[in-house]
Amino acid sequence: MKLTKKRHACIRLEKDGRTLVIDPGTFSEEDAAVGADVILVTHEHLDHFNADRLRAGLEANPGAELWTLRAVADEVSAAFPGRVHTVGDGDTFTAGGFDVQVHGELHAVIHPDIPRITNVGYLIDGSLFHPGDALTLPGAAVDTLLLPVQAPWSKISEVIDYVREVKPRRAIDVHDALLTDLARPIYDTQIGGLGGADHLRLAPGDSTQA
């Protein structure tokens, strides 16, 4: 698969002429979902879910379909009957030639006074895992972990321990829009040095093989 980093938590995967996009939210490019055959959304927070981004992708390709949890599906399903699918922890499906396993149930704790919402992660082709906003374990060894590197709900020690627990061959940063250029070298050094996996940071628009 070809993996292209988009802004913040959004990525594009391309394989055999088909394209899968995860989390085209408000912080990602306006056309982040355009050209997608398969769209996955991990949860309802605006930096992962933007209804206009989803509509643009679904309208650009009449064959495109969306898989997501109920809170997001309820927002867009009426406009695209039969093309929006609700998933939860333990579900598996094949879409656009991509095999997808769904893992996780809840968003990470931001603060005890803030109610937790649902959140799911997606394991693609048994090799690449996007956890959304949680440190969910993928349930199997993975080659590539898309690592939520900085968030209001995390600290770097938890991020490092997550890489150690998942044990991927490499970790690629996502969820990085709020990480300043001043802080990036610190995160790169500490995650790369302590995580136990190759650590890669891509600029938006950069690609690698996954």
pLDDT digits (tens, 9 = 90+) for 134-174: 999 998 999 999 999 999 999 999 999 999 999 999 999 99
β-strand partners of 12: 4, 21
SS3 (DSSP) at 192: helix
Residue 37, C-beta contacts closer than 8 angstroms, at least 6 positions apart:
18, 19, 20, 61, 63, 64, 65, 95, 96
DSSP annotation of 103: E
Q: What's the confidence (pLDDT) of residue 142?
A: 97
- Residue ranges of domains in the chain, CATH in brackets: 2-202 (3.60.15.10)
> Which of 20, 28, 1, 16 is closest to 176 using CA atoms?
28
Q: What's the confidence (pLDDT) of residue 145?
A: 98
| Below-70 pLDDT ranges, the chain | none
Q: Residue 113: phi, psi to the nearest 5? A: -85, -5
Q: What's the confidence (pLDDT) of residue 39?
A: 98
